[in-house]
Amino acid sequence: MRVLQLWRYPVKSLQGERLGSVPVTVNGIEGDRQFAIFDAETGFGLTARRVPELLYASARLRADGGGVEVTLPDGSIADDDRALSAWLGRLVNLRSTAEDSTRRYENVVDFEQEKISKWEPFNGAHGAFHDAQGANVSLMSLATIGSWERRRFRTNVILDGDDEESFLGSRVGLGDCLLDVGMHIQRCVMITRPQPGGIERDLDVLRTIHRERDGCLAVGATVARQGMVTVGDCLQPA
C-alpha cells in the first residue's frame, strides 16, 4: 500500500491542507490539530458535531512558523478571537496545544434525532487536539472510502489498495516513521455534515457504517519513531 494523499488539519474541525511531504512527530502529523476553538462560556471545545459551520472555514500553518491562519467562509482572515467570535456568534478563544487547558467536547447521543437528543461530554486526548489518545495519525484506503467523499473523514493518510485493518495490533513503517496501529476509528455525526464543494448533509453515511462496520471506519496509530512521510511512500510491516 502506498501513500496517495497526506492531509493536515491545523485547527480542529476546520478544513485543512494537502501536503506532498511532512514530518511526523510524537503528536502525529506535524501541525495537525495543534489548535482548537473553545467556547468561552461553557469551556467546551467546539467541533463540527455541535457547530457544523466550522467546516466552512479553513486553516493553514503560517510559513514563517508564526502560528495558524484561519480563512472564514467569506474569504476574510480571522486574525484574532474577536473575529472568530463575530463569525460564530458567541465568545470563543482559539487555543494552541502549548496552553494547559481542559479538553472537553460533546457528542450527540442519537444522531437520528439530533434536535431532541442529549449530548454527552467526553475528555479529549493530551497533546494534539484529537478525540482519542490512541489515534494521532489516521490511515484509510481508497477501497474503504469507496464512493464516499474523502473529505468527510478528515483522514491524515490516504492509501491505495485496501485492508488497512490487517495492520491492527502491529507496528508498520511509513517513510522514515514507525507507527503502532492500535485502534479502529469510531465515527460520529460529524461525517454527515455538509462541507464546501457540494458535499451535502447525508445521514446514510453514518447509518451504513453502523450497519456494516460496527460504527468504525479507518484505523488510528501512534508514533513509535518520528520521521518524514512523503506521497508515494509504502506502508509495510516493520
pLDDT in tens, 45-102: 999 999 999 999 999 999 887 799 999 999 999 989 999 999 999 999 999 998 877 8
Can you give the pLDDT at residue 39? 97
Say whether pLDDT at 9 is over 80.
Answer: yes
Hey, which residues does 219 pair with through a beta bridge? 139, 184
- pLDDT score at 31: 96
Backbone phi, then psi, for 83, in 5-degree steps?
A: -65, -40
Count of Cβ atoms closer than 10 Å to residue 135 Cβ = 23
> For position 119, what pLDDT does the model report?
97
Q: What is the DSSP letter of 113?
A: G
* Phi and psi angles of residue 140, each rounded to the nearest 5 degrees, phi first: -150, 140
Query: Rounded CA gap, 163 and 183, in Å?
Result: 14
Domain count across the chain: 1
Q: Which residue has the higher pLDDT, 162 or 42?
A: 42
Q: What is the pLDDT of residue 100?
A: 78
pLDDT digits (tens, 9 = 90+) for 165-212: 999 999 999 999 999 999 999 999 999 999 999 999 999 999 999 999
Q: What is the pLDDT of residue 89?
A: 97
Classify 235 as helix, strand or coil. Answer: strand
Q: Give the distance, in angstroms, between the CA of residue 194 and the centroid of all CA atoms in the same chain.
A: 15
What is the C-alpha separation between 62 and 44, in angstroms, rounded? 26
Cβ pair 7, 19 in contact under 8 A: yes
Residue 155 near residue 139 (C-beta atoms within 8 A): yes
Average pLDDT (28-42) is 96
Predicted pLDDT at 162: 85
pLDDT, one tens digit per residue, over 124-147 is 998 999 998 889 999 999 999 999
Residue 39 phi/psi, 5-degree rounding, is -75, 120
> Bridge-partner residues for 8, per DSSP?
17
- Identify the band that residue 123 occupies on the pLDDT scale cut at 50, 70 and 90: very high
**CA pair distance 131, 124, nearest whole angstrom:** 5
Can you give the pLDDT at residue 161? 86
pLDDT at 101: 78
Q: What is the pLDDT of residue 65?
A: 76
Which position has the grid cell 508515494? 232
Q: Are 12 and 34 in contact, with CB atoms under 8 Å apart?
A: no
188 — phi, psi (to 5°)? -135, -175
CA angle 133, 138, 143 (to 5 degrees): 145
Output the pTM of the full model: 0.94
pLDDT for residue 60: 96
Note down the domain range covering 55: 3-237
